[in-house]
């Protein structure tokens, strides 16, 4: 099942799931200080809902419904970026830690893509 741009829908489904799992991993590594946990709670909500929006979009009833759900996912991504910036700025999560998480996402995705036949 290919999307309009030729990529597999399953690929994005897996990538958004991997993203959510990495957000969960980051959350679990945050300091137990109240400030870090409050920011982390927000990050957890937005970062794990991106994939949910994508999956909901796959069952959209119309093109406008599809667009609305995908745009909702984009809003969650933007919010996630904001919470990541605050966590980094407050010193709860360093750029190196964030970079390591996202490098892992890219490596796993590339490894998975290499195994797939298009």
* Mean pLDDT (10-residue bins), the chain, 118 residues: 51 90 90 96 97 94 93 93 93 80 70 60
Please state the pTM of the whole predicted model.
Answer: 0.74
d(CA 13, CA 93): 27
Residue 70 in tokens: 């995908």
Residue 53 forms part of a structural domain? yes
Backbone angles phi and psi of 97, in degrees to 5: -65, -45
* 105 lies in some domain: yes
- How many structural domains comprise the chain? 1
Domain extent at residue 16? 10-110
Asked if residue 118 is part of any domain, the answer here is: no
| Residue 31: CATH number of its domain | 1.20.1440.60
Q: Is residue 5 in some structural domain?
A: no
The reported pLDDT for the residue numbered 29 is 87
What is the model's pLDDT at position 95? 76
Domain assignment of residue 30, yes or no: yes
In a domain? residue 3: no
Q: How far apart are CA 6 and CA 111, in angstroms?
A: 18
Contact predicate 18/48, CB 8 Å: no
């Amino acid at each position: 099942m290919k999307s309009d741009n030729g990529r597999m829908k399953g690929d994005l489904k897996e990538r958004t799931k991997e993203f959510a799992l990495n957000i969960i991993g980051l959350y679990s590594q945050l300091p137990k200080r109240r400030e870090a946990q409050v920011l982390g709670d927000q990050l957890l909500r937005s970062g794990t809902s991106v994939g949910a929006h994508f999956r909901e979009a796959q069952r959209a009833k119309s093109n406008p419904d599809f667009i609305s759900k995908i745009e909702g996912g984009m809003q969650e991504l933007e919010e996630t970026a904001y919470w990541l910036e605050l966590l980094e700025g407050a010193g709860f999560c360093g750029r190196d830690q964030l970079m390591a998480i996202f490098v892992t996402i890219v490596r796993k995705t590339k490894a998975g893509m290499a195994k797939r036949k298009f």
